[in-house]
Every structure is written in C-alpha cells, then in structure tokens.
Chain A
Amino acid sequence: MNGFDSIASGVESIFIILLCIYYLVIQLKGINNLFVYSTSNFWIIITFLIYLSGTFFLYIMAENMIMTKGFLAQYIVINSVFNILKNILLSIAMLMKPTPTEENKQKNEDWDDFLSHKFNN
C-alpha cells in the first residue's frame, strides 16, 4: 500500500470521468429513439462514472493517509461499497444485449419497462 500513487490515480479518474461526461453529453444531444438505459454502453459508462467519482477522494488521499488507522477502516468500507456497486452495475451491463448499430436500430416501443433489448432478428 505504500506504493500507492495518488496523483496518477487522480489524473486517471478525472480523465475517465471527463470521457464519461462527454459520452453522456453526446447522448443528450443526439436524436435517438432508443432509451439510453436500454443499451449496455450506458451501463458501462455509468459504472465507471459512479465508481471513479465515489473513490476519487479516497484515492487522492490514500498515498499519505493510508497508514492512519481511522482512514484505513474508511478506505476499506468506501472501497468495498463502491466495488460492490460497480460489480452490480457491470452485471446489469452484461445482461443487456449489445447496443444496436445505426443500421439495425429499431424504434423503441416499450423500453420504459424493460432493461433488456429485443431484436427482431
């Protein structure tokens, strides 16, 4: 644990968070008849976003504070919680059918109620 590099993980987190925000902004701007949460891409992106946002402060403080007893306990709790959340969200993403390409994208009818994606073919 002594070798933890907070600066590198902080920069990495910020970079990935920015990429996730970029993806979400693209989704917001794009004209798409498919609900964004019915695609696996969306779930993967929010997994990264939530996990890295949640552990951002933990990681940037870890390099200097990891030896502190109180911090270590918090580190374990926060890291575990976000790790479990990350795994749950990734599982949902894996349960989704792949995001349809532009050509075989179909009109969304009742995606409000379903998480999985149905293809005609």
Chain B
Amino acid sequence: MFLLQASGNSFSVSNVLIFGTIGMFVMAITLVSVVVFHQRRVIKFNKQLQKMEEEKQQMLLKASINFQEEERQRIAADLHDDAGPLLATARLYLNENLIHQEPAVQLQSIFSAKQIIDDSIQLIRNISHSLMPPTLKNFGLESAMKDLFEKINGSGVINASARFHDNRERLKEEQELLVFRVLQELVTNIIKHSNAGFIHLTQNVQGNFSYFRIHHDGKGILQKEFERLNFDSGGLGLKNIESRIKVLKGSISFDIDSTQTYYKVTIEVPKEPSK
C-alpha cells in the first residue's frame, strides 16, 4: 500500500502488481529449483561414494579369497612335494626289510626310514608353525615377534629388533594373531622391497589403544602410495593388511620422519584385553 502511494502516478498500479507477482513467482520457483537440484547432486554424490566403498569392499574380499587360495596351494604343494616323497621313501626302506632278511641290512634300512620319518615330522611341524606360530599362542605377540626377528637376524643381511614398552596386558588371542599377521606381512615387504639395513619395532599403549610402529632405513612407501596400491589390481599383501586392520577396527599410517631418512609404519589397535 505504502509502495503504491509513494509511487504516485508515474507507476501504474497494474505494473506493480504484475511485476511484483512475477517477481515473487520467479523467486519461489528459483528456491524450489535450487533445493531440488542441490539435493539431486548430493544424492548422486552419496551414491557415487557408496559405489566406491562397495567396490573397495569387493576388492578386499577378492584379495582375502585369493590369499586363502594361495595359502592352500602353498600348503598343498608343501605336503605333496616334500612330505609325500619323504613318506614314500620311508615306505620303500621298510619294504626292503620284508625282502632282505639279513639283520645288518634290515637295521640299516630301519635306521634310514627312521631318519626320513624324523625329517617328515620336522617338515610337518614347520608347515604347522607357519600356519599358527606356537610362540604366539603360548607366549604372546612380543615373544612371537622377537622369535621372528631372531630368524631374520640369523640371515645376517638385516638387523631386526623389537621393543615392547607396555605389554603387561596381552591383547585378545584373535587380535594378537591379526596384529602378528599384519606385522609379519609388513616385515616381509620391507625385506623384499626396501633394501633396508635395519628394522625396529616398538610397541606402546596410550589410553585404550595399542600402537605398533615399525622403523626401517630402506625405501618405503607413504600413505598416498599405500592407498594407490590398495586400489590397484595387484598388491595382494597390502589389501590383506588393509582388511585385517579393518577387522581390528584400527588404522594404519605410512610416513617418513622429519629428516627424510627413516620410513615408519604405525598401527593403531583398540585394546581388547584377553580374558
């Protein structure tokens, strides 16, 4: 009303009405369009994210299945190629006993068979230990890692050491196994790819989290590279690390220290003490 009075004769009433109505209508339509298009964009973006997440999950699942298959093949090969011939040979020696009745020959062949059976036992024990290290089950992660590092040190090529600062309370058995597998895979990768002279593992506890950090002086990878390799079709070991960390509900980070000399891998695991 005030507007109309102020405008006086120069503005016709119908102009104000028409332009005002059109203006309000356009504003309302614009507002609705903005809401609709913005929401569509957000939903599409969310869908894309969801799809990417699903793809990643699929990849991890595939990697873990492949890993299982590889592990089975390795065990099958070990049993077939090593244990099989050894036992067959032992059987041959024992068969000899049935043919040769002379005590000296018999004794010799029994002794040989015994030695072969001892070898077979050792072989089967090795296979079993590689599946589930007994040190880990009986004495915990610290002993298992130190055991592993001792074997690595035995080669003389690389110097590996471990220091557990706060290991009064062991993690849950399943957690320990998962952490051990992750650390084992990381150490294997360092030995295989980094040309490192030393590997040092430290463990610490802060609040409800256990931290494991591996330092090495070789050529390592950084977080970005880890994520890239994780999305590639290769990198089965890294995918396994990622899926194990997911199961642990923890996190892993790859970085380099400020002097750009030592690469470090840090694993954060929520503590679930063993009962």
Contact = CB atoms under 8 A, between A and B. Distances in A.
Interface string A22-43: 0010011001110111000000
Interface stretch (B17-25, B116-124, B131-139, B250-258): B17-25
Interface stretch (B32-40, B79-87, B97-105, B216-224): B32-40
Interface string B3-22: 01000000001101110110
Contacts of B1: 6, 60-61, 63-64
B31 A49 contact: yes
A70 interface: yes
B14 to A, nearest CB: 6
A84 interface: no
Give the size category of B's interface with A.
20 to 34
Nearest to A54: B25
Contacts of A21: 31
B13 A68 contact: yes
Contacts of B14: 70-71, 74
Contacts of B95: none
A108 interface: yes
Contacts of B4: 61, 64-65
Contacts of B28: 17, 46, 49-50, 53-54
B43 interface: yes
B107 interface: no
A21 B16 CA distance: 24
A74 B28 CA distance: 21
Contacts, number: 77
A108 B38 contact: no
Contact of A24 (B18, B32, B42): B32
A interface secondary structure, majority: helix
Contacts of B39: 27-28, 32, 35-36
Contacts of B88: none
Contact of A36 (B13, B20, B29, B36): B36
A24 B17 contact: no
B66 interface: no
Nearest to B39: A36
A33 B46 contact: yes
A53 B28 CA distance: 7
A102 B4 CA distance: 48
Contact of B24 (A6, A36, A56, A61): A56
Contacts of B34: 28
A70 B16 CA distance: 13
B11 to A, nearest CB: 12
B27 interface: yes
Given A63-B1, A64-B1, A68-B13, A24 B24 contact: no
A74 B18 contact: yes
B207 to A, nearest CB: 30
Interface string A73-102: 010001000000000000000000000000
Interface in B172-227: none
A103 to B, nearest CB: 20
A5 to B, nearest CB: 12
A87 to B, nearest CB: 16
Contact of A58 (B21, B32, B46): B21
B29 A50 contact: yes
8 contacts: A31-B42, A46-B32, A50-B28, A53-B24, A53-B28, A60-B1, A61-B17, A65-B13
